[in-house]
A and B are shown apart, each in its own frame.
Chain A
Amino acid sequence: MRRTVLKSLLASAVLAATVGLPAAQAADKEIVIGGSIPMSGVFAFAGIGIHAGIQDYVKMTNDAGGIEGHMLRYVPEDSAYKVDQSVAAFKKITSQNKVNFYYGDSTAFSKTINPELDRAGSMIMSGASFATELNDPQKFPYQFIAGPDYTQQFGILLRYIAQQKPGAKVAFVYSDTEFGRDPIESSRGVAKELGLNVAIEIMTPPGAVDVSTEMAKLRRARADYTIFHGYILGPIPEFISQSRQLGLQTQFMGTFWTMDNSTVMQMGEAAEGFMGVMPYNYYYDDSAPAPMLEKIRSMRTEYQNVPYIQGFLSAMLYAESARRTLAAGQEMSAANLKAALNSIENFDTGGLIGVPISIRGNTIPVGRIYRADVQAKRMVPASDWIVLE
């Protein structure tokens, strides 16, 4: 047995030693999209969707002849949602390919890799993070978010609330994480500007199960609306079921990572009437003509989650900025690609987003409020598209 272990170890060492040779350089007529994608680990549910979304858009574009004679090539690597592995994937992909676009898996990665992007000056990046901090073109000149940042998501929710019930009392419930705290401070001012009253802010430990103390605070605040942020699912169902038992009259709402159809429906009966902000149309949306959604549905007959749409849209925006850069006869540098991206005005996403989009700063400040319909097992629109100025 020991010999066998020894032999296997030696074989692994030989294999590992031979991998330093860089892979063949990317062909000139090629646009490379690299990605640190969380295909395993705690964020795999999103990573798998993102991966499929980028993959499908790349296939669709290449089948249609590519972009100005350039084929797209997608080079993903599993990051396991760990910063060190994400950076390793970035280094591996960028040292073996001439990468033009990159998809990152987290806020921590986006912040960590930013100096590398600035130094390389050859690629632009988007990712799974909607962190407000990234929406700063001065600090993050070569990054963007394929949707509204968390503060803008709160802004869309608060604007909807102000329209529905002027002067309403709002509660913010968030996790004690960088993700959870992100929009809280900046959204206080937004609420005030809209004439809303932030009645209470409740911070919970990440992964909290027992929320009875927080529930008591929420009950005393008598908020008309309660916005959750910094969670995927738990402890939201616990809050909702306890509030139903107590007869609390408050409308619960969530932000992007809670708002996937499958996540909301996991709440069971508690999901009924749950609302939230979503920057994209859901996979099944057929309320308006959406040729791109139809193509997606023809490629994949089963439901695709919202990270899929986000990955798909990211790839679409990469392709559009490449198309504009090449059409202008410019070099595919980070500065040119980002300038081309920022030149996108009233762009038709083929129904991924229900209104034409413009990229302002580093984000697309648009979204719509949806409401859960448990009977139909679907999220249904509760508002028109809200575009922040």
Chain B
Amino acid sequence: MTGGFGSRPRKEDQRFIRGRGTYVDDVKLPGMLYGAVLRSPYPHARIISVDTVAAEAHPRVRAVLTGETLKQRGLAWMPTLSGDQQAVLVTDKVRFQGQEVAFVVAEDHYAARDALELIDVEYEPLPPVVDALRALDPGAPLVRDDLDGTSSNHIFDWETGDADRTDAVFRAAPVTVSQDMLYPRVHPAPLETCGIVASWEKISGKLTVWATSQAPHAHRTLYSMVTGLPEHKIRVISPDIGGGFGAKVPIYPGYLCAIAGSMITGQPVKWMEDRSENLMSTAFARDFHMRGELAADRDGKIRAVRVKVLADHGAFNGAAQPSKFPAGFFGVFTGSYDLEAAHCQVTGVYTNKAPGGVAYSCSFRITEAVYLVERMVDVLAFELDMDPAELRMRNLLCPGQFPYTCQTGWVYDSGDYPRALRLAMDIAGYENLRKEQRAERVRGHLIGIGLSFFTEAVGAGPRKHMDILGFGMADGVELRIHPTGTAVLRIAVQTQGQGHETTFAQIVAEELGLSPDDVEVVHGDTDQTPFGLGTYGSRSTPVSGAATAIVARKVRERARVVAAAMLEVGADDLEWEPGRWFVRGDPDSGRTMTEIALAAHSSLELPAGVEGHLDATCVYNPPNLTYPFGAYICVVDVDPGTGKVDVRRFIAVDDCGVRINPMIVEGQVHGGLADGIGMALMESIAFDAEGNCLGGSFMDYLLPTALECPSWELGATVTPSPHHPIGAKGVGESATVGSAPAVVNAVIDALRPYGVRHADMPLTPAQVWRAIQGRPFRTDLAIT
């Protein structure tokens, strides 16, 4: 099979269906030891003492690490991806429940766990900051007394847009609406938890780690910075990764503990967190307390949007996002609409909760932005008594407006929004659904129809604007063509299930006319791949996908020169068709890529200045982000007696530009839609007033199963990105971003007979019941 794009089975499936994948926990090295982390039961407490004598005396324990052990090696603190510092093992006080206090290295993981029980820690409990809305109160406990000159829990203020102009539009607008809402703290919860195998070899001075990493090159650099080991002596291998969704972008204290444990014991150390550790201590997502306001005309023309956000970043500011964007890409909160003005102000605060800040397929906070604006559009529809589809259609950007610079300065590359919304409505049978809804309401049945229209900004990003910890977000790629014409592509992005081994081979195949089977994709090993920033924010196709197309085109041009020499004609006289160069006007005189590859490695004389071989490299610095978009419609049935929500149908029309492998695109959309149902109806990392995490296991943190999910109904439009070499846009997070507001809008729509205008996620039966009873909010939500 030759030719590139199109649905085709994935190469990587062959090992997974046989149980032959290699995940981090499958790595077993000779002499390997096992680590376990002792965690704080308190959300805020001073450490008086840590007594490890009994643990060290355990016959199978090889080392016990505390904050003091690490401090002596300069490893007690590590940088976060937002330039904050985070304790690896605590030296002063614990700042969230589940924080890392000590690390045991033992001969097996049962013994390591046993030894945790033998460590005696004396704590002095302190009052915690739990409610983000009270974090800046005078007299609030200070979370970060480790930072010099810090006297409050304030992290940052960030604003975008034009405040004065927005205020002016609001003053003049005949209609304004305002709504407070919370995007609750949720967790990406990949099925594989986070973990590492660290192997330090004293003689070579080389550190090799196998880690659950979405960004192996960034991790290598961070390990070098933290440990002081020279970077060329560090190798990070990301083997098969059991889902990431953002949770595997940062480095975690357990990783550094395992590295330190290996350096201390001289043996490899494995550490895999358990599910409770995963949910309680690794990257959470969202936790945005938002007030949205819209200004509009009476006919529904939206004129301006104004937003105020209080962002709960937990105990350490560990958000993984480009450094100039402390609220991520929330700046696209203007959504898919043509507005006169927009302004938003975001304040970030510390609380005694786990650190993190962006994750869970959020496209750097676009999830929150889309939820805000799509909820607000429905609030406006409620106030104007307008159909929400009609209101959206009235305000969507028109195809002729692209490229469109939104009121906060983001340049949307391409789109045909009305076409996508119309297609979704056609698939749904929108008018008939509304008729059915009216008829059923008379009978007391609650049917809800919810829409959302999203625009994402993905593929970070242009180096001039976007970096993480100072590293510009360009990606390298290398393509080698062997003498017999097969190819090896080395990429810096990291699949966690996205199917890169297949899709990236398809890009090379498309550009060079090879079979994807003849292109091997190498990834997940910093010793074998060029530098790049990894996979998150739907950036693989927009950045490394572009790099791959470009490097293949470089090879194609080199092949042209070689073919010209073979045919003894000028390179300009050659024309390309997939897989071969031929003489213009003489299609029979040509050379295939296989023939050219062999000649390129042969003694064939090439023109002066032309090197042999066909290998090429490329570093791609994207000129802009790509802007995928979509129209989603959710249909729910709500039981007025119990508040239970059943998702009856979900229609998703996605436009991610050119699709390399539509089967894989659809699969990613399916997964994101399930995320939306989970977040809208089930998932929440909640805390009690004392700061105890209430979502610390899958018994408490509820994820959707096959029974909560309907059979998804997909549609597609294709509007190519004008600046991406193959016209593709990212898609991995689109459905997660777009689906939650559609589900919530559907539930609120179902509750219309009760006059409900808003209720916060997750819309559990209890929460829906409260909304029906006229208590839709958490009372602590008011933003002042």
Q: Do A and B bind?
A: no
Q: B residues engaging A (CB < 8 A)? A: none
